[in-house]
Amino acid sequence: MLPQPRQLLRRSLRAGALATAFVAATLPAGTAQAAMETEEGRLAFDELRTFADVFNQIRQGYVEEIDDSTLLEYAIEGMLTGLDPHSVYLTRDAFEDLQTTTSGEFSGLGLEVGMDNGLIRVIAPIDGSPAAGAGMQPGDIILKLDNQPVKGMSLGDAVAKMRGPKGSEIELTIGRAGQGRPFTVTLVRDVIKVASVRERWLEPGFGYIRISQFQKSTGEDVGAALERLQAEETLKGLVLDLRNNPGGVLGASVDVAGLFLPGGQVVYTEGRLANAAQSYDATPEDATGGVPLIVLINGGSASASEIVAGALQDHGRAIIMGTGSFGKGSVQTVLPISEDRAVKLTTALYFTPSGRSIQAAGIAPDIVVERARLEALSEEGRISEADLVGHLANGNGEAEGGSGSAGGASALLGTDNQLYEALTLLKGVSILGLRRAPATAESVAAKEPAAE
């Protein structure tokens, strides 16, 4: 049955009153009426009245009754979804999850994800997590969660569904480039304790630091890792591994870059708001003393990882190796709208010291090294001069038959070719640096034969 004219008039009046209330709430006190008298103000009023009409039609005619607060939350979520993948509406639970993630411990699968055309795309699995153990890869598309399509699901709802108590299972349907059909993988949720920094020796003198995520204390943790390495032996070169690092706290990325720079700008931001224009500088001291540095990145390196790589690349401090990074160069600001709700809104863009925008472009490596599976060819049966009968002795008095050893590099060849190439280049840069060292009177005297 169609509504009677009197009912339509009553609804229109209610809608107009609601629109007026919206306008008054969004403008400073005393300026709502003045704004409505301008052309832009009339446009805003008309659009808000349209919104109020739609709001009223839904609350009156939708097949199921929905309370006004829920409808307004849907409207807010819809507004933010239409902006960009990183602007989201935070309820109390979502805001607590955000704080938990940056603190370094939560229960779930260990995936950093983002929205991509209504589907959930994996940015990077977290080291040591169930997702990493199951072989999840950057770029994977999550199509279903426990056989429920994620199309139409908000990012917050999808993340909430993936979170859960330790030991519980969830089935993910995954689409992967180069794979013919979607496949399923069952993951067991666990408490994700993100150890953001790990260090070790690749070979004597050549260190390795892995940063899996930028947390509040990551700068301090990298500084401590450098101290531990340098306390054991002289550091000749370092590999900083930022592959599959989804980013995190901006301040931590500035701290980490500052450990390898003698000062200067790390990153700056620009946006519409006056306070969106910020510049962040490194502390004036290189904690490594300027040793050769190689930074590894790939498609899973995002946000804070790209800030570090971009700063070190622009300052000529490091060689960037691997594949192009993710390209997440936007700044999100958490804006409280009540005691238990907030909006995470994109308010600015990141720029490297040379003025490059990271957004949707990423960081291009200086040397491209694709991930590949390599195998060393055996040289068994090879004959050298030392094997020949009657060969001349070594005139320098050195042991015969020594061909050198690849050391830790050989172990990396079949497991991580990108790290293998980084170590090889690092050793080459270090050797070249030593050979180019300026001659001193002492070094020349040491090479001259002693007088008889």
Active-site annotation holder among 154, 221, 328, 344: 328
Residue among 314, 325, 330, 344 flagged as catalytic? 314
Q: Establish whether 151 is a catalytic residue.
A: no
How far, in whole angstroms, is CA 271 from its chain's centroid?
21
Q: Phi first, then psi: give them for residue 13, nearest 5 degrees.
A: -65, -40
Residue pair 26/17 in contact (Cβ under 8 Å)? The answer is no
Both tokens assigned to 29: 């006190």
- Reply yes or no on whether 344 is catalytic: no
DSSP 354-366: TS-B-TTT----S
Beta-strand pair 367-368/319-322: parallel
Residue among 336, 345, 342, 337 at smallest CA distance from 272: 345
Number of H helices, E strands in the chain: 13, 19
Helix axes 68-81, 39-61, angle to 10 degrees: 130
What is the Cα–Cα distance from 88 to 302, expressed in whole angstroms?
A: 18
**Residue pair 315/290 in contact by the 8 Å Cβ criterion:** no
Query: Which one, of 178, 140, 196, 139, lies nearest residue 326 by Cα?
Result: 139
Choose the catalytic residue: 196, 303, 325, 330: 303
Distance separating the N- and C-terminal Cα atoms of the chain: 120
Q: Is 443 a catalytic residue?
A: no
Backbone angles phi, psi at 280, to 5 degrees: -125, 125
DSSP codes of every residue in 398-429: PPTT-----THHHHHHTT-HHHHHHHHHHHHH
Show which residues are catalytic: 303, 314, 328
